[in-house]
Copies of this chain bind each other. A is one copy, B any other.
């Protein structure tokens, strides 16, 4: 099934023949024009140009009694398709029209007849390559498919309008993130994925291990090469004893030096053999045990290791050296949550700022979220309009609102007062000072009371992590959450406790052991600084921006209980 036709193979022969001292005169590859630059270009400039375009057929239909075909071609560079016209004389049309077919075509851009919606269309002169599709077997027919259905086709779903639009929005948000932090003097730090620290001390963490594969290897090895029996070991030990006696005998009988040396060599050989046999005899199949527990000293890192739940503690070590830093990478929770809001693997953006208090933290958080929203408005209109049309009428309005309005800032205490006084709505979770706000409360604050983003700060210490700075009231900590319409909590942050003794007490009060945090305490022992930071759940931001309901659809390869496709 060599489906790819017509286009010459890579010019490997020319390369072979090239002389060594001169750069080989490689035939330049035919440059491909992105459909994005065609559909957004100036018609006057485009018409008459010869271009090579590659992509996948969204819809194709034969026209004029089979004399030509229209193809709606998409190459993923943008949402729009390019209208492509192929004459039957150029290529067998029936092979071109099935949805999902790939083509690389060469032709001339033309102005379509008056009254058609296309600004420009491509008249094909040559089909350079084609990757066919059997429509009877293609899992993604032209009909509209649900996002849930597509989750069973992780490897093909990027070819749909929705998933490719989300991918482009995700890419834009990632680049906007790097741009924002760079503009503000932050350095990007790659915090570790495999960790021996538990940031929250709370964690449902995934364990990382080679013990299973080591045990399998050992088991195979023992099958192929069975261990010695007890009597083999005894015999080897006996041999050592005998050889030892020979050495003693030779020595006491003042034998020649050569004789003694030779006998010692034999003794050593016997000893080595006995110890090897004994070692192999003691090999037990299965996982290594010590005192009836798994012996993690035999694991890859010599101890238990986990997937990180947050890069915060580690990135603090860089904030306390480089000032403004951030990490942006995958984080993990082994929670058995089957909700539309949780993933086992998700991406987090975590800036950390030296010499910054909670207020600085809130300012950075607000500016960052605004920047992301404005970026999408400026760089992602077409995909955002698609979301508005198909998923969430208010998606663009929400971006405009958030990018332009100052966020409300209220203390937790005030937030609780407001919620207690709510009469038009019955909450499932009772509100009183000291509770962790539930999603229903958060959304009520931002969607109903304020109708814009709200930053709630100064939470009760009992519901927040040990590293958050204790306020003077001794009851609250300098924590803040940014709540936005549609998703509720988008960002959680805090000023970190920079005072050594208070931090030690907070760790102890949380019931955590001090020893694993000694390195963290060192940051306070040696040149401590006030510092603050926050974390933005990247997929939450995507839900907020796109209006998509299920978090499994805004990450390319979702991981959740029971599922890790590909």
Contact = CB atoms under 8 A, between A and B. Distances in A.
A261 interface: no
Interface of A: 1-4, 7, 9-12, 15-16, 18, 20, 23-24, 26-29, 32, 34, 36, 54-57, 75-77, 100-102, 104, 129, 131-134, 137-139, 154-156, 158-159, 164, 167-168, 170-171, 174-175, 178, 182, 185, 187-197, 204-210, 212-213, 287, 294, 300-303, 305, 307, 313-314, 317-318, 320-324, 329-330, 332, 334, 336, 344-345, 347, 354-360, 363, 406-411, 413-414, 418, 457-458, 471-472, 478, 495, 498-502, 519-520, 522-530, 555-557, 559, 561-566
Contact of A2 (B56, B334, B499): B499
A208 B210 contact: no
A29 B305 contact: no
Contacts of A100: 526-527
Contacts of A131: 498, 524, 526-529
Contacts of A164: 321-322
Given A192-B557, A210-B334, A300-B561, 20 more contacts: A2-B501, A12-B457, A12-B478, A16-B413, A20-B408, A23-B407, A32-B355, A34-B323, A102-B320, A129-B355, A139-B522, A156-B317, A159-B321, A164-B322, A168-B322, A170-B188, A174-B188, A175-B188, A194-B564, A212-B294
Contacts of A192: 345, 556-557, 559, 564, 566
19 contacts: A4-B529, A4-B530, A9-B472, A12-B471, A20-B414, A29-B360, A36-B185, A75-B323, A131-B527, A155-B317, A155-B520, A156-B526, A167-B187, A174-B178, A189-B556, A190-B556, A300-B561, A301-B561, A519-B565
A386 to B, nearest CB: 15
Contacts of A354: 54, 75
A555 B516 CA distance: 22
A159 to B, nearest CB: 4
Given A213-B207, A557-B314, A155 B519 contact: yes
A565 B1 contact: no
Contact of A209 (B170, B209, B330, B561): B209
Given A29-B363, A207-B210, A294-B212, A190 B519 contact: no
Contacts of A138: 526
Nearest to A417: B20
Find the residue from A212, A347, A555, A564 having the highest chain B CB count within 10 A. A564
Contact of A529 (B102, B501, B555): B102
A321 B168 CA distance: 12
A545 B6 CA distance: 42
Return the 5 tightest CB-CB contacts between A and B, nearest first. A76-B322, A158-B321, A131-B528, A54-B355, A102-B527
A208 B356 CA distance: 37
A525 B137 contact: yes
Contacts of A314: 556-557, 566
A527 B133 contact: yes
